[in-house]
Amino acid sequence: MFANIIGQAKDTAFEFSELERLMALEKKVRRLVFYGESEIQYRYYEDYIDYLLAHWDYDICYISSHRQDPILSDKRPRIKSFYIKNLLNTAFSRLDSQVLVLANPDINNGPIKRAPSPVHHVHAFRGIASTHQGYRLGAFDHYDSLLMIQQYQVDEVRKAEELYKLPAKQLPVIGYPLTERIWREHQEFARQNAVARERPVCLVAPTWDAASRTSMLDVCPDEMIDRFGRCPFEVWLRPHPEYVKRFPDRMAKVEKACARTSNVRTKLELGSMQCLHQADILVTDHSTISMDYVLGTERPVVFINTPARVDNPEWTKLGLEPVENSYRSKLGAQLELTELDQLESTLKASFGDRESFGRTIPALRDELIGNWQKAAEVGGNYILGLLTS
CATH says 2-176+372-388 is which class? alpha beta
The answer to whether 65 and 18 are in contact (CB under 8 A) is no
The answer to whether 293 and 353 are in contact (CB under 8 A) is no
Residue 387 has pLDDT above 80, yes or no: yes
Residue 255 has pLDDT above 60, yes or no: yes
Round to whole Å and give the CA distance between 109 and 381.
Answer: 29
Query: What HEC string does 108-177 produce?
Result: CCCCCCCCCCCCEEEEECCCCCCCCCCCCCCCCCCCCEEEECCHHHHHHHHHHHHHHCCCCCECCECCCH
- Residues 82-96 have a mean pLDDT of 96
Residues in the chain: 389
Residue-wise pLDDT tens digits, 102-161? 999 999 999 999 999 999 999 999 999 999 999 999 999 999 999 999 999 999 999 999
Residue-wise pLDDT tens digits, 194-213? 766 778 999 999 998 888 88
Domain spans of the chain, in order of start: 2-176+372-388, 178-368
Residue 1 has pLDDT above 60, yes or no: no
Among 128, 34, 84, 123, which residue's Cα sits nearest to residue 323?
128
User: How confident is the model at residue 273, as a pLDDT?
Assistant: 80
User: How confident is the model at residue 251, as a pLDDT?
Assistant: 92
Domain 178-368 fold: Rossmann fold (3.40.50)
Indicate if 178-368 has the same CATH topology as 2-176+372-388.
Answer: yes
| H/E stretch holding 264 | strand 264-266
Question: Please, what is the average pLDDT of the chain?
Answer: 93
- In terms of phi and psi (left: phi > 0; alpha: psi -120 to 50; beta: otherwise), the region of 234 is beta
Round to whole Å and give the CA distance between 228 and 258.
Answer: 9
User: How confident is the model at residue 211, as a pLDDT?
Assistant: 82
Q: Which residues pair with 124 in a beta bridge?
A: 147
Residue-wise pLDDT tens digits, 33-75? 999 999 989 999 999 999 999 999 989 999 999 999 999 999 9
Give the least confident one: 40-49, 197-206, 281-290, 315-324. Answer: 197-206
Residue-wise pLDDT tens digits, 261-278? 999 999 887 667 888 999
pLDDT band at residue 9 using 50, 70 and 90 as cut-offs: confident
User: How confident is the model at residue 6, as a pLDDT?
Assistant: 65
The answer to whether 311 and 135 are in contact (CB under 8 A) is yes
| H/E stretch holding 381 | helix 375-388
| H/E stretch holding 119 | none
The answer to whether 378 and 371 are in contact (CB under 8 A) is yes
Cα→Cα distances 276→73, 168, 226, Å: 26, 37, 23
